Chains A and B, each alone.
Chain A
Amino acid sequence: MNQTFPLLSALIIFPLAGALLVMLLPRRNAFLIKVSALIWTLVEFALSLQLFFTFAENDAGMQFVEQRAWFPELGIDYFLGTDGISMLLVMLTTLITVLCILCSWKAIEDKMKEYYVSFLVLETAMIGALCALDLVLFYIFWELMLVPMYLLIGVWGGPRRIYAAIKFFLFTMVGSVLMLLAILALYFHYGGATGIYTFSLIELYKADIPAIKQYWLFAAFALSFAIKVPMFPFHTWLPDAHTEAPTAGSVILAAVLLKMGVYGFLRFAIPLFPAAVVAATPLISWLAIIGIIYGAVMCIMQTDLKRLIAYSSVSHLGYVMLGIFAFNMQGLEGGIYQMLNHGISTGGLFLIVGMIYERRHTRMIADFGGLSKVMPKLAVFFMIVTLSSIALPGTNGFVGEFLILLGAFKSNMLYGVLAASGVILGAVYMLWMFQRVMFGKITKEENRGLPDLSKREAAILVVVVAFVFLMGLYPGAFLKKMDASAAGYLKVMQAKTAVYTAAGADAARLTAAK
């Protein structure tokens, strides 16, 4: 099946075809536009299930590989493939996109056609970036993600949308430009050294680059990805982007786009530049820990629901980065798992805040209070997603956070202990937020008549909550898919870094001898 049918290409092209179709629909028929977008993304999700179920979980290498020469004279290929790391992120993308379409049903009435087109193009770009194994192809998809996201914030966003959109664009562009330069440098270095000029990632993995050069190239890649994650101190674009973006924009931004930064580290920055990784691990781990605690403290200070959740992403992504840079099974798998969890829980939180916003047109915590009374159904879902966000055992968040902390602790006890303190702070800011919004007496008259969830909204949240529990109670379904790839990844990394750590030790011994 996977030899004959180009599943990854299908997954990438299908949403784009959908975008074209939606473009051709009559502008007046709003319902038709929405339904087509929904059906299209649902079929896309069904198609991705095919990927999930035919994925060979014992194979550590790239699967569903497609490679065709594209610009042979430059060594650029149309080269796709997926492994246990990216496959699950593809699944997350197709799932979240469906929810995004559903949650925009009533919220978006202006320029509806363009909106759904943007979303479908965005889906193509995200899946493309996750599956590309050629650096140029990757870069194209990476940049392609920017445009629809920029439009989503800038056109359908809140009052300060232009500022937020430009900030988002500039921050990401700064990183992208550096990454482009690094890609070119890598290309010329490898070509110069071996005579093979290629952008194929698999080929470039073999590159033997002098340590100093690795530092520079890693720095360029890492900066670009760290902005995207975002890691402290490159995070200040995120609260603005999130607050101004429409609900679905916030959801997709948190659930998938931020993961692209982490994925970039995993797929590119780390395996390409092992020497730099050895040197940079302490720095990145510390930034991750600062991000965990700093993000949490920032959350406590926020008065705007969306800003609060945005800062909580800084904290959660800190966990992810810490886990990955622990370079052991628990840390790595926990990190990947936590990316999925964060997509579900934080995506869920933005969905819920969006539902509240649609009713009240405010995001200020102080404008609420006592909502449990008028919206009991929403209260239940909100509580479950909140608990998942603070990693209560039984929910998805716990599995990821536990594995990450265990992995971090294994690699460096101090890291583990410091990061675990975020567990306390997480409870503080989330429960306080929940209390101020949902508990207490209704103090604002406007809140008294708010309707509870509609069927459509309930359906969205049922999906979110189902994944919260499925991933919390039976993580094996997903962890098994990544086991082989993660183990293979670590094995390769160990072999690659051993050279540098041993060399580093020798050098240290030499200087000590002097």
Chain B
Amino acid sequence: MADHIWLIPFFPALGFIVNSALGRRTSKSFVSWVACLAIFLSFLVAAAVLWEFLKLPAEARVFERIVYNWIASGELSVNIGFRLDALSVIMCLVVTGVGFLIHVYSVGYMHDDPGVKRFFIYLNLFVFMMLLLVTGNNLLLMFVGWEGVGLCSYLLIGFWYEKDSASDAGKKAFIVNRVGDFGFLIGIFFLFISLGAQGVWTLNFSEIGENAHLLSGGAATIITLLFFVGAVGKSAQIPLHVWLPDAMEGPTPVSSLIHAATMVTAGVYMIARLNFLYSMAPDTMLIVAIIGVLTAFFAASIGFAQYDIKKILAYSTISQLGFMFVAVGVGAYAAGIFHLMTHAFFKGLLFLGAGSVMHAMSGELDLRNMGGLRKKTPVTYWTFFIACLAIAGIPGFSGFFSKDEILWRAFSSAQGHPLIWLLAAVTAGMTAFYMFRLFFGTFHGESRAAEEVKHHIHESPRVMTIPLMILAFLSLVGGYVGIPHILGGDNAIEKFLAPVFGAAAPVAATGNFEIISAAWASAGDAGHDGSLELALMVASVLIALAGIAVAYVLYVKNPGLPGRFAARFARLYHWVHNKYFVDELYDFLFVRGILKAGAFLLKVVDEWIIEGLVNGTADWARRAGDRLRQVETGYVQEYAFGIIVGAVIVVGYLVVLPMF
């Protein structure tokens, strides 16, 4: 299998090429199924690699294959090459597995759209880029995938390009991501040159890993911070989170695949991939964890006051990504990847469920016009319910295991801190609340839809509901690969990932929290017998249940209450509902700032100063010409006089000058 790992990204690329070339001449269903088949074949290859990995000893689970030399200039030599290890095989399975289900779902969802062929062409291209991102064996190839998925995101958000809001949102996503990419790019330069200064010129992951110890702590901190800027952009963390809610302008399967399950998690993957660098930079890790937990909290709070169901899910995604950053920020890389995987299941499902709701409700998105869908769309209802339980962290569901692992590590690891745990635990409760607000509001109570919409409410076709059911099954059982020791499991996923993250032994406490760490060290000891870990677990479950209970009271028992709360805290509500006016601030600072600066430069520098000087010179020349013309009087005597004067000067110059 090792020689064939390039097939994983190859199949979607082939699907893209075949469909682009033949698309015009073939039918819609041909294009759709070619696209699905391409992803499925990749999935099979990835599964075969996993199968082979499981038979190999842990240290041998790395396949690397170089295809050709891409860019070579001086010390720089970059290959097109692929690398599969425990981390990337999980990513490949998530991307192709969830990706395949979403492709199949799209066959139904996009069936009546006139641009369906274009849609599948873009979607295949996206999966190719995403697989390039996770399987590339060097940083530059990862960057290719990184920008490539950004491109596909841009194309798919703006898929309905005739809508201005859609093309605006696509452009915004691309530009905000470019801000992050700028950091990523500088990070690549910095790393390349810092390692080069030590005699190692490389961008290859294995070689960077082997030589990372040559870097100074300061260099590692700067490099990891720069990479983190990239991650913040791609994974929509504060302060670059603004593009993701707008990205919901794209078709719903796109939101599910790109803006929930796969692309937005690329930042987490990147940090996990470069764990050996991050582990050398405790300061960066602290920042990662703090940004993560603040984003988680901040986005969840916005989720309270939105009515657009996709926007709620978008803020939820930002918030859940924050959890993943907490995980990698406290050095619990495996927990981060674990949550990435379960999140792909349940959040992918939530979006597809939302799509199914839209399908039933003639495109309606506003929570205020929903309600009562439980009976009419049973499959959507039950699968959505399972996903809500999973994201809320109810024991037994996948989200419980992964989220709890993160919470426990945030509390107990050397890089963690009780405050981070506390904020994350509160956020988990908020998550349960806003998810069930969404759930009850959509499926329970009386229908608030318009009459003509009500008549059309129907369950989606099988091609859409089957993927829902499979994802619901995964949301239910996906967590069992990571049952913690305390519950009698052996955390298989952590063990599987150990060869990738094991090299990065958890850093010792570095003095940031020495005192507190010491205080909690005893607690850590208590963790060995598990009582503390268990206590925290119970606490987080109780918090989640409380969130659900509050949602139940507010939106099922007593639906008048939320309105009164909003009125009571009008000012706070106003801020939260308007997403804290971050968009408006950026618009003022950057968009208008650049336009003003541009107008100034154009008017003053280009037109006034530079053109003024040029035209001034031309004017001066013309006026000088006018004067000179007066010399040409036409009188021979005057010309002769001029000639004599000239001759005297020339002779004088030639004769007199050499004397000195």
Contacts and interface: CB of A to CB of B under 8 A. Distances in A.
Interface of A: 170-171, 233, 235-236, 294, 297-298, 300-301, 328-330, 333-334, 370, 372-373, 387, 392-394, 398-399, 402-403, 405-406, 409-410, 413, 416-417, 420-421, 423-424, 427-428, 431-432, 435, 438-441, 473-476, 479-480, 483, 487
B185 interface: yes
Contacts of B598: 297-298, 300-301
Nearest to A334: B73
Given A294-B601, A420-B185, A424-B175, A236 B594 contact: no
A335 B211 CA distance: 30
Interface in B139-190: 140, 143-144, 147-148, 151, 154, 158, 161-162, 164, 167-168, 171, 174-175, 178-179, 181-182, 185-186, 189-190
Contacts of B181: 423
A236 to B, nearest CB: 5
Interface string B334-353: 00000000000000000000
Contacts of A370: 162
A394 B144 contact: yes
A409 B71 contact: no
Contacts of A387: 151
B593 to A, nearest CB: 11
B174 A431 contact: yes
B72 A479 contact: yes
Which size bracket describes the interface of B in this complex? 35 or more
Interface of B: 68-76, 140, 143-144, 147-148, 151, 154, 158, 161-162, 164, 167-168, 171, 174-175, 178-179, 181-182, 185-186, 189-190, 192-193, 594-595, 597-599, 601-602, 605-606, 609-611, 614, 618
A301 B602 contact: yes
A440 B167 contact: yes
A329 B171 contact: no
Given A330-B74, A393-B144, 9 more contacts: A294-B601, A298-B601, A329-B75, A417-B186, A423-B178, A424-B178, A428-B594, A476-B69, A483-B73
B412 to A, nearest CB: 39
Nearest to A233: B610
Contact of B73 (A171, A333, A432, A440): A333
A330 B193 CA distance: 12
B137 to A, nearest CB: 15
Contact of B178 (A171, A329, A427): A427
Contacts of B601: 294, 297-298, 301
Nearest to B183: A420
Contacts of B610: 233, 235-236
B186 A439 contact: no
> What secondary structure prevails in chain A residues at the interface with B?
helix
Contacts of A480: 72
A300 B600 CA distance: 12
B23 to A, nearest CB: 11
B189 A328 contact: no
B31 to A, nearest CB: 15
A201 B189 CA distance: 37
Contacts of B70: 473-476
Contacts of A474: 68, 70
A301 B602 CA distance: 8
Contacts of A439: 158, 161-162, 164, 167
Nearest to B140: A402
Nearest to B118: A376
B76 A330 contact: yes
Contacts of A328: 74
A432 B171 contact: yes
A171 to B, nearest CB: 8
Contacts of A416: 186, 189
> What secondary structure prevails in chain B residues at the interface with A?
helix
B182 A423 contact: yes
A236 B606 contact: yes
Nearest to B179: A424
Nearest to B181: A423
Given A236-B611, A370-B162, A428 B175 contact: yes
B192 A406 contact: yes
Nearest to A373: B162
A372 B601 CA distance: 32
B186 A394 contact: no
Contacts of A329: 73-76
Contacts of A406: 76, 189, 192
B161 A438 contact: yes
B162 A479 contact: no
Given A236-B610, A236-B611, A439-B162, A479 B148 contact: no
A167 to B, nearest CB: 8
B73 A405 contact: no
A403 B78 CA distance: 12
Contacts of B618: 170
Contacts of A431: 154, 171, 174-175
A295 B72 CA distance: 29
A387 to B, nearest CB: 7
A405 B189 contact: yes
A440 to B, nearest CB: 6
B257 to A, nearest CB: 21
Contacts of B162: 370, 373, 439-441
A476 B76 CA distance: 12
A140 to B, nearest CB: 26
Nearest first, the 3 A-B pairs at minimum CB distance are A329-B74, A393-B144, A439-B167
Contact of B594 (A233, A297, A394): A297
23 contacts: A170-B618, A233-B610, A294-B601, A297-B594, A298-B601, A298-B606, A387-B151, A393-B148, A394-B148, A403-B71, A409-B186, A413-B190, A420-B182, A427-B174, A428-B594, A431-B175, A435-B167, A441-B162, A441-B164, A473-B70, A476-B69, A479-B72, A483-B72
Nearest to B20: A380
Contact of A298 (B168, B190, B602): B602
B570 to A, nearest CB: 37
Nearest to B601: A297
A479 B74 CA distance: 10
A492 to B, nearest CB: 16
A120 B71 CA distance: 35
Nearest to B145: A393
A372 B161 contact: yes
Contacts of A294: 601, 605
Contacts of A333: 73-74
A60 B280 CA distance: 43
Nearest to A372: B161
Contacts of B158: 435, 439
Contact of A423 (B75, B151, B185): B185
Nearest to A294: B601
A394 B167 CA distance: 23
Contacts of B595: 300-301
A440 B178 contact: no
